[in-house]
Amino acid sequence: MTTIIIGGVAAGMSAATRLRRLDEARQITVYERGAHVSFANCGLPYHVGGVIPDRASLLLQTPQSLASRFALDVHVRHEVVDIDTAAQTVTVRDLESDAERVEHYDELVIATGATAAPGPSAEQVPTHTLRSVEDVDRVLEVLDAAGASPRVVVVGAGFIGLEAVENLLARGAQVTLVTRGTQVLSPLDVEMAAPILALLRDAGVDVRLGVTVTGAEPGRVHLSDGSAVEAVLVIEASGVRPDRRLADAAGIRLGPTGGIAVDARHRTSAPKVWAVGDGVEKRGGLDGAPTLVTMAGLANRHGRAAADDIAGTEPDDAAPALGTAILGLLGTTVALVGWNERRLRDAGRPHRVVHTHPASHATYYPGAQPMAMKLLVDPVTDHILGAQIVGGEGVDKRIDIIAVAMAAGLSATALSQLELAYAPQYGSAKDPINMLGYVAENTASGATRTLQWHELDTALDHGAMLVDVRTPTEHAAGAIPGAINLPLDEIRARHRELGDRPIVVHCQVGQRGHTAARLLTQLGHDVRNLDGGYRTWAAGTAA
C-alpha cells in the first residue's frame, strides 16, 4: 500500500509519522514544494527579532532524519501539480530540474495549508511574508543591509503582524503598522483591543487604522490616507486563505468558506483522499457550521486523526474547533477562545457579558499583574460562548481553563465551583476563573443587574443617574462625565440624596459597584452596575 502526502510541516508530517507508527509495511511518500519539510513556522518572527538566534533550531526534521527514524520517503522542492482521483495518481514536478513524473497512490493526504492573502502591491520596496524559512532569510538579508534603525512597514494587525512588529522593534527598527480595520487584533472586541493599541503606540509604533497600501516608489510606501512613509521593507501579514488550488482542479468539493470540505474523519468528496491542515474547513464549536481556523494544534491533531482513519483504527470524529489562541506582545499576553461579542451580535445570538479585572495572583504577594477578562454567556443555557483575556502572567492558564470548560460543556456558573491549584505566588483563594463564575452566577440569578459600557449613554439619555462609588481621590483622577461621587462607605447614610430616579453605579473594576448595587437594591432603589467599571468604560470609549 502506498500513501502519498502533499505538504509537510504540521499537518502533513503528523499524518506521515503517525501512519508509520501504525503501519511499518506501508510505503509513505511526502512531497513538499519548499526547501524544508518540517520547521517551526510559529517561531519564524522570533528568529527575525533574535529571540531565537540559531536558524538551525527552527529546522525540526530533515528528509534524512525522517528516513532514518520513520522510513519516510520525503522529497523537498517537489510540487504536486495535478491530482487524478479516478486513476489515483499525482503528477509531481521536480522544481530543481523541472522534470515531471506520475505516481500512483492507494491513499492520498492533501496538506497544502494556507497561502498569504494577496494585498496591495508595494513592488518597488522589498515585500515579504513570514510563512517559510526562506521568507525569513530574505527579510534578514534586507534588514542586515539596511543598517541601524531601518524603517519597516507591516501590513496587517493580526497575530503574525503583531509578532512581526514586536520582533522588528527588538532589532531597533522603526515600524509603521498599517491595517484596513478600525482596530488591531480584530478577533478581540473593541474594549479589549484598545489597550493593545495604546501599548503599540507607547512603544513608538506608528499605527495607521483604516488604511491600506496603495503603491510605492523606491524607499517609500504610499498609503490610502494620502501619506507616504519611508521604508526599506514591507512585511505582508494581512491574512491567509486556504490553498485549495490542487483540490479544486481535481474536482474535490470545496466548502462555503472556500476551504476544502471534509467529513468528521477528514475524508474529502473524492474516494481515498483525505485533507488536513489550514486549507481545510473545520466544524465550529458553537454552531457546528463550517469555519476556517488556522492553528498549529488543530493541524497536528487532524493530521494524526487522518492517519488513524487510513490505518483503519476507527478514530473518534473530529472535535469541533473553538479557535483558542494566544499572543505575546511587548510584555502583554492576549488570549481568546470562542466567539466575540461582535460576532454574536451579528448572528443575532442572545448573550450575556461579564467583565472582570483581577490580579494574576494574590496582591499581597509581590509581582501580581493585572488582567482584563471578558466572558460571553448564553443567557438561557448558561453555556460559555467565548472569552478574551489581556494581561501579564497567568493569562495563558486561565484561557486554557475556559477552553477546557467549553469543550466539556461546563456552564459559566460552574466556573465558580472549580477547584484550582492555589498558592499566593500562583493565584488567589478566589481564582480569577472562580470570580468569573461568581459574577456570571450573580447576573444569571438576577442578584445584580448589569449595564455594558456601550449601553451607558442610552441609559443616561433615558433619565438614569450615574453614581461613582469610588473614593473622592479616585473620582478626581478620572471620572465618567456626568457622574456624581458617592463613596460606597457613605451610601447607607446618604442614599436618600439619590431620589427615585433609576441609578447606574460604577467603581473602578466592578466589584465595589456590585456591593453598592446590592445595598441600594435592598434600600428600595432601581439600580444597575456598570459591568467592568470605569476601567472597561475607559477602554471601550477610547477605541
Q: Tell me the mean pLDDT in the region 146-151.
A: 93
What's residue 60's pLDDT?
87
What's residue 543's pLDDT?
77
Residue 278 pLDDT > 70: yes
* Widest pairwise Cα distance in the chain: 89
Question: Per-residue confidence at 432, pLDDT binned at 50, 70, 90?
Answer: very high
Cell of 352: 450575556
Q: 136, 36 in Cβ contact below 8 A?
A: no
Angle CA 387–389–393, to nearest 5? 140
Residue 121 pLDDT > 80: no
pLDDT in tens, 248-262: 999 999 999 999 999
What's residue 122's pLDDT?
61
Phi and psi dihedrals of 285, rounded to 5?
A: -75, -20
What's residue 31's pLDDT?
97
What's residue 93's pLDDT?
97
Q: Characterise 412 by phi-psi region: left (phi > 0), alpha (psi -120 to 50), beta (else).
A: alpha
Question: Per-residue confidence at 115, pLDDT binned at 50, 70, 90?
Answer: confident
pLDDT in tens, 63-84: 999 999 999 999 999 999 999 9
The mean predicted confidence, pLDDT, of the chain is 95
What's residue 120's pLDDT?
57
Closest by Cα among 421, 441, 417, 503 to 468: 503
Q: Give the number of other CB atoms < 10 A from CB of residue 445.
A: 9
CA dihedral of residues 173, 179, 182, 188 (deg, nearest 10): -80
Residue whose entry in the numeric block shows the C-alpha cell 506520475: 102
Question: Per-residue confidence at 499, pLDDT binned at 50, 70, 90?
Answer: very high
Cα separation, 315 vs 264, whole angstroms:
10
pLDDT in tens, 380-400: 999 999 999 999 999 999 999
What's residue 116's pLDDT?
83
Question: Per-residue confidence at 117, pLDDT binned at 50, 70, 90?
Answer: confident
What's residue 295's pLDDT?
85
Q: What percent of the chain has pLDDT over 70?
A: 99
pLDDT in tens, 396-417: 999 999 999 999 999 999 999 9
User: 254 pairs with which residues across the strands?
Assistant: 260
pLDDT in tens, 361-385: 999 999 999 999 999 999 999 999 9
Cα separation, 58 vs 401, whole angstroms:
29
Q: Give me the half-sphere count of Cα atoms (radius 13 Å) on the Cβ side of residue 157.
A: 27
Closest by Cα among 49, 47, 40 to 165: 49
What's residue 329's pLDDT?
97
Cα separation, 457 vs 468, whole angstroms:
15
Q: 354, 412 in Cβ contact below 8 A?
A: yes
Phi and psi dihedrals of 435, rounded to 5?
A: -65, -40
Alpha helices (H) in 264-394, listed in sequence order: 296-311, 341-346
Closest by Cα among 533, 382, 381 to 456: 533
Residues with active-site annotation:
507
The three-class DSSP label of residue 240 is: strand
Q: Tell me the mean pLDDT in the region 321-336.
A: 96
